[in-house]
Structure 1
Amino acid sequence: MSDEEKRVLLNNAWCRDADASFAFGYALRADKFGIVIEGKCAKCGCAIVRCSY
């Protein structure tokens, strides 16, 4: 995956409580549903998960 594709996916996921994106240390993986990004909010620390098909 290119850096540009990663940037688009990461910037398209937001914490519902803090209106912020992923903090450093997220996990990016492919599974049967597509690309999954799991991590924590950069502002409040809540869990964020994003799935892209």
Structure 2
Amino acid sequence: MAIIDVKAAKKWNQVPKDLQRKIIENVFCSDCFVTTIVDYSLRDDPHGVLLEGKCKSCGKAVARLVEEI
């Protein structure tokens, strides 16, 4: 994981570790459908935290928005 944004990292660290793992393992890929995100970075977003990375299966770019609770 690469931290692009300290604010995003603070938000991400507020998510329980078990939920972080579930989120990382439940990302949509247009080729593979449900996949795991790898080599991802964290970016702050007005709605929460954006994870941007690659599909573990095919390497295609994927992203997941984790909305603030």
TM-score, length-scaled by structure 1? 0.72
Deviations 1:2-51 (Å, cap 9, x if unpaired)?
3223112212213120243212x211233212111100011111110111
Gaps of 5+ in 2: 1-12
Larger Rg: 2
Match among 15, 24, 48 for residue 62 of structure 2: 48
Structure 1 stretches (4+) deviating beyond 6 angstroms? none
Identity %: 33
Match among 16, 36, 44 for residue 50 of structure 2: 36
Structure with greater strand percent: 2
Gaps of 5+ in 1: none
Give RMSD over aligned pairs: 1.7
Per the alignment, do residues 30 and 9 of structure 1 end up closer, same or farther by CA in structure 2, a change over 3 Å counting?
A: farther
TM-score, length-scaled by structure 2? 0.59
The alignment covers a number of residue pairs equal to: 52
